[in-house]
Structure 1
Amino acid sequence: MSQALDEILLGYVNNKEFADVKFVVGKKKAIFYAHKFFLSLVSAYWRNVLYSKGWETRRTRSLTEIYLPDLEPRIFLSFLQFVYTRSVKIKGNLVFELLDIAKKYGIEELFKYCDESFQKSLSNENCIKYYEYSCQNKLEKWKAISSGYIEDHSGEIMKNHFCLIESTKETVLSILNLEKLYAFEIDIVKSLIYWSRSQKRKYYQSNEKVQLKDILIEFKPLIKLEFLDFDGLEQVSDIGLYSPTIIFGAMMKLTQKYKVKVRPLTRAGAGIEDLKVLLLANCRRGHERIEHIRESVMTTGIQNVDIMNCSSQAPSFDEMFKYDCVVVRNRNAENLHNQVELGNDLARYVEAGKGVVIIAINTLIDNDTCRIKGRLQDEEFIPLQFGERIQQDSRELGEVLLPEHEIMTDVNSFKTKNYAQLIGTHDVRGGTIIAKWSNGFPLITEKTKEENFGTVVCLNFHPCSSKITNDCGKVWLENTDGDKIIANSVSYVGMKLYKRVKPQRKQRKL
């Protein structure tokens, strides 16, 4: 049609002049006027309705009145525009709604128009919605067209992390299984996270037990860890779909591939009270001494300290990774459980950015039955060489080489009761001496083996104070600051993980 004729015909849409049929549409009974002639030209259905007897219409003077309670007025108006001009502007879901009318009233011409409009109106913003509609209504042609569009533009589509947010689970699974879906894996992961949050708000808001990982469990096989960068691995770690061991393994492969340092997984905004500490300890003289160490750890405000007997069991790496710091204290008379495996797991733990505090007496004694073995020792993560246990007269805090160090906060004195028991070595294996005994032996040492690794601190003294009344004379005096040294060491290595500045890295397609 010419533009002039289109404008003339459009003027008759819902125009009472010459109208011979009146439509009452929708629940609010909107009124539309039309002409039987135009309706009969476009549809055999309407021709039979309007020119046959016995159909549910009512004559009102010269008008035939027809009720269409199930249609929305805006959809019916668009349908009338097509009836008169053979075209209509397609916006939003209009193409679906007009297609329903075309199928309901058998209007082949409208069906073809919707088919053409569907292909022309496909965009990054609506293609997923079009795909979902096609699948739900078994429109194979539309499904093939929309899925092809998604594959061709998947990189751009997934950059909008809200692209899946209104889709059903079936649609999301189907899209992620498309054969030629090429996008940054990090964009896919973020889109899934936004989708899962939307699902939680919509269906599980009242159920606090439902986590994002529960909603995304079916998507786990579709997340390709090998294509994620550090940001992506951190996102997946936060969801909790994979164990820390798997995440850390993927990070190590990434560092080997691009020869960059591991960036540890962090919780933003953590404080001392949020730290989770595991105390690996044993003592032949009773649990009272272990509880005393636990109380010392909690001096500066740390609240979460769990105890595990290191003579009868050792935590797996996954169990250990839940904690921000591990404190190791082993009694000479007890053997460390799986010494080599524990040393290997502690090394991996430090590589992941976590902190370890070793209370050195007996744990670092040069005795094969009780000392730490494995990579933690062999690859020199520990800032103090194994040595003989020596006993000397009463000793106290000597030279403080780093008085501004966090471990020395509020530490004013430290002294043993009768005689000092310590590891007699000056070799700190590339570590840093923070403070010494008055006889010159290292008292507090630390070592961060590589950038972005966690820190290991060694405390070269007996862990209990004179508060333990039935202990021998080697304890430190209760009115001095041994408890602060222990607590400050734990908070120092634990909080380093959260204080570390994230390095800026450009995103790359892996």
Structure 2
Amino acid sequence: MAYAGSAVLEGDAAAFAAAIRSLVNNPRFSDVTFVVGRERQEVFAHRCILACRCQTFQGMLCQPQPGAQEPWPPQTPLVLSHVQPEVFLAVIEFLYTNSVTLNSLIALEVFTSAVEYGLVDLRKLCVEFLTGALSVELVCEALQAAVTYGQMDLQQHCLVFVEDHTREVVQTRGFHELSGVALGVVLQSDRLAIDEPDLIRAVREWAHVSSVECITEAWKCHALRKGRGAPSRLYQCRRGTQPREHHSYLQ
């Protein structure tokens, strides 16, 4: 209840942030323990912070233990075997401090966890980091994650990078591991910086019989100019295509 003449006065924000940060993975006063990854590393947390910061954790911690009626007891660890400890600790860091420490080795997995846990602000921070850290080796993995989770902002950043470095990207392991849908996103672009025969060879190295229909549809989309606005003509060569005599018949 607010009284007349009352005011909210702010204390030292840095000191407060440092005090909260000291609780990250601190067993003191912890009332929930996670056993994380193949290494089965223990991560200590405080359910009140997790519950107020993330609805997914709130639901997880409020669910009764199998065969019991009460919420998950403090002495019973929660096993998360599918996530790396470094990735989970980055998520915990964000929940406690609203900031996150990222590097190129874990950023994609932290992004994936942010999407799965419904942490919109963490997802945005990961997209911001990945956008600045894209490389020939990383871009296809990032594109695949963007396509899988429907993250159009990251997908667009990745596609622009692929368009500018196509010749190098198609030689990477990440390119050969793209799903048919993700490859279709690439092939629909008319700005790929690679000659068409070289692109065909790259796709043949990737190709699986079950994905031929997807590849055909993507090439058709490029040819009919459906990918980047209304067509000015039936067909336009991609940016990297070398000029050839028969191209005159396409005009």
* Interval containing the TM-score (normalised by the shorter chain): 0.5 to 0.7
Q: 2:95 aligns with which of 83, 88, 105?
A: 83
Matched, 1:57 2:57: no
Matched, 1:13 2:24: yes
Matched, 1:23 2:34: yes
Secondary structure in structure 2 of the residue aligned to 1:117: helix
Q: Is the 8 A contact 1:13 1:80 kept in 2?
A: yes
Indicate how the Cα distance of structure 1 residues 88 and 118 shifts in structure 2: closer, same or farther if over 3 A, else same. same
State the 1:80 CA deviation.
1.5
Indicate how the Cα distance of structure 1 residues 68 and 49 shifts in structure 2: closer, same or farther if over 3 A, else same. same
Q: Is the 8 A contact 2:170 2:202 kept in 1?
A: yes
Matched residues, percent identical? 20
Matched, 1:144 2:156: yes
* d(CA) in 2 for partners of 1:161, 1:148: 14
Q: Which amino acid aligns with 1:137?
A: Y
Q: Is the 8 A contact 2:35 2:41 kept in 1?
A: yes
* d(CA) in 1 for partners of 2:152, 2:187: 18
Secondary structure in structure 1 of the residue aligned to 2:143: helix
Q: What TM-score, normalized by structure 2, do the two folds share?
A: 0.59
Indicate how the Cα distance of structure 1 residues 92 and 194 shifts in structure 2: closer, same or farther if over 3 A, else same. farther
Judging by fraction of residues, say which structure has more strand. 1
Secondary structure in structure 1 of the residue aligned to 2:193: coil
Secondary structure in structure 1 of the residue aligned to 2:43: strand
Indicate how the Cα distance of structure 1 residues 56 and 101 shifts in structure 2: closer, same or farther if over 3 A, else same. farther
| Partner deviation per Cα, 1:100-128 (whole Å, 9 max, x = no partner) | 43344333432333343344444444333
Residue 168 of structure 1 is matched in structure 2 by 179
Q: Is the 8 A contact 1:161 1:190 kept in 2?
A: no
- How many residues are treated as equivalent by the alignment? 210
Residue 193 of structure 2 is matched in structure 1 by 183
| Partner deviation per Cα, 1:363-387 (whole Å, 9 max, x = no partner) | xxxxxxxxxxxxxxxxxxxxxxxxx
Q: Is the 8 A contact 1:58 1:66 kept in 2?
A: no
Structure of higher CA gyration radius: 1
Q: Is the 8 A contact 1:98 1:114 kept in 2?
A: yes
State the 1:192 CA deviation.
4.9
Indicate how the Cα distance of structure 1 residues 172 and 108 shifts in structure 2: closer, same or farther if over 3 A, else same. closer
Indicate how the Cα distance of structure 1 residues 162 and 73 shifts in structure 2: closer, same or farther if over 3 A, else same. same
Residue 79 of structure 2 is matched in structure 1 by 67
Indicate how the Cα distance of structure 1 residues 25 and 177 shifts in structure 2: closer, same or farther if over 3 A, else same. same
Q: Is the 8 A contact 1:135 1:143 kept in 2?
A: yes
Secondary structure in structure 2 of the residue aligned to 1:128: helix
* d(CA) in 1 for partners of 2:161, 2:139: 7
Residue 131 of structure 1 is matched in structure 2 by 143
* d(CA) in 2 for partners of 1:55, 1:168: 43
Structure 1 runs not aligned, ≥5 long: 205-213, 230-249, 255-510
Q: Is the 8 A contact 1:24 1:66 kept in 2?
A: yes
| Partner deviation per Cα, 1:14-42 (whole Å, 9 max, x = no partner) | 22233222112345533111223432342
Secondary structure in structure 2 of the residue aligned to 1:31: strand
Q: Is the 8 A contact 2:86 2:106 kept in 1?
A: no
Q: 2:126 aligns with which of 107, 114, 120?
A: 114
Indicate how the Cα distance of structure 1 residues 165 and 195 shifts in structure 2: closer, same or farther if over 3 A, else same. farther
Q: Is the 8 A contact 2:146 2:152 kept in 1?
A: yes
| Partner deviation per Cα, 1:480-500 (whole Å, 9 max, x = no partner) | xxxxxxxxxxxxxxxxxxxxx
* d(CA) in 1 for partners of 2:118, 2:169: 38
Indicate how the Cα distance of structure 1 residues 147 and 3 shifts in structure 2: closer, same or farther if over 3 A, else same. farther
Q: What TM-score, normalized by structure 1, do the two folds share?
A: 0.33
State the 1:162 CA deviation.
1.4
Residue 158 of structure 1 is matched in structure 2 by 167
Higher RCO structure (Cα 8 Å, ≥6 apart): 2
Q: Is the 8 A contact 2:136 2:168 kept in 1?
A: no
Secondary structure in structure 1 of the residue aligned to 2:35: strand
Indicate how the Cα distance of structure 1 residues 18 and 220 shifts in structure 2: closer, same or farther if over 3 A, else same. closer
* d(CA) in 2 for partners of 1:51, 1:168: 37
Matched, 1:43 2:63: no
Q: Which amino acid aligns with 1:58?
A: P
State the 1:89 CA deviation.
3.2
State the 1:79 CA deviation.
1.3
Residue 227 of structure 2 is matched in structure 1 by none
Indicate how the Cα distance of structure 1 residues 2 and 120 shifts in structure 2: closer, same or farther if over 3 A, else same. farther
Q: Is the 8 A contact 1:26 1:68 kept in 2?
A: yes
After superposition, residues 94-493 of structure 1 pair within 5 angstroms as 94-151=106-163, 154=164, 156-163=165-172, 164-179=175-190, 181-185=191-195, 189-190=197-198, 192-194=200-202, 196-197=204-205, 199=206, 227-228=241-242, 253=245
Indicate how the Cα distance of structure 1 residues 56 and 189 shifts in structure 2: closer, same or farther if over 3 A, else same. farther
Q: Is the 8 A contact 2:63 2:71 kept in 1?
A: no
Q: Is the 8 A contact 1:49 1:55 kept in 2?
A: no
Secondary structure in structure 2 of the residue aligned to 1:13: coil
* d(CA) in 2 for partners of 1:46, 1:173: 35
* d(CA) in 1 for partners of 2:131, 2:219: 33
Structure 2 runs not aligned, ≥5 long: 1-11, 224-236, 247-251
Indicate how the Cα distance of structure 1 residues 220 and 120 shifts in structure 2: closer, same or farther if over 3 A, else same. closer
